Amino acid sequence: MKANILEIFSSIQGEGKYTGVSQVFVRFFECNMHCVWCDTPHSIGDTTRHYQEYDLESLVKEIDALWTSAHHSISLTGGEPLLQADVIAQLIPHLKRAGRKVYLETNGILPEALQQVISGIDVVAMDIKLPSSTGCQSYWPEHEAFLKIALQKEVFIKTVISSETKASDVERAAQLAGRLDPNILFILQPNYFEMKNGVIQKCQEFHNSCQKYLEDVRIIPQMHKYMKVR
């Protein structure tokens, strides 16, 4: 097994339901999307960027060296970690034997890869990628198939709101989630780089429309950017 890893570090979770908890982050190299607002552009598969290859033993050893009782979980992030689902499938048993929760941060468009590892995941932090926000194609069927699998475990949804985000995309995302579980936590995440461009106001407008389909809709920015941590 060889895992392509950008970095392994301890920090504070800055997004979503678990904002503020301590985690050990394992940032996997490469992503299958190139969102225009991506805050980790070095993770998109540019092989001129530095990443490190780990075998399973060295990966577990580095995680163990960072772990303390203060940590909530291990965050598998990226890039897109499910591009290396075979690695995750081998890593999870070691994390579980050590009594550690596994927290998956994902773009939510690889349902087959999720199926490989879902039994060992504790929390799924799933993005819904709105085409008007990302500048990429739409992935509605993939998101729906992904969420159906993720609902086997604890899952919440994040979707980034930018100045380009269309109300029709947000409503479609809320409808998709509401059909499968109207009680799922649905987070509108304003694009940090456009906070002065009216994205908070857009989030407030979208919040009202989403509540037609969902019981728990929240506006939560990327708090790690304000705390100046990774």
pLDDT means per 10 residues in the chain (230 residues)? 94 96 96 85 64 96 97 96 98 97 98 98 98 94 98 98 96 98 98 87 96 98 83
Fold of 3-227: TIM Barrel (3.20.20)
What is the DSSP code (8-state) at residue 108? Answer: S
Q: What is the pTM of this model?
A: 0.95
Residue 123 has a pLDDT of 98
Reading phi first (left if > 0) and then psi (alpha if -120 to 50, else beta), residue 8 is in beta
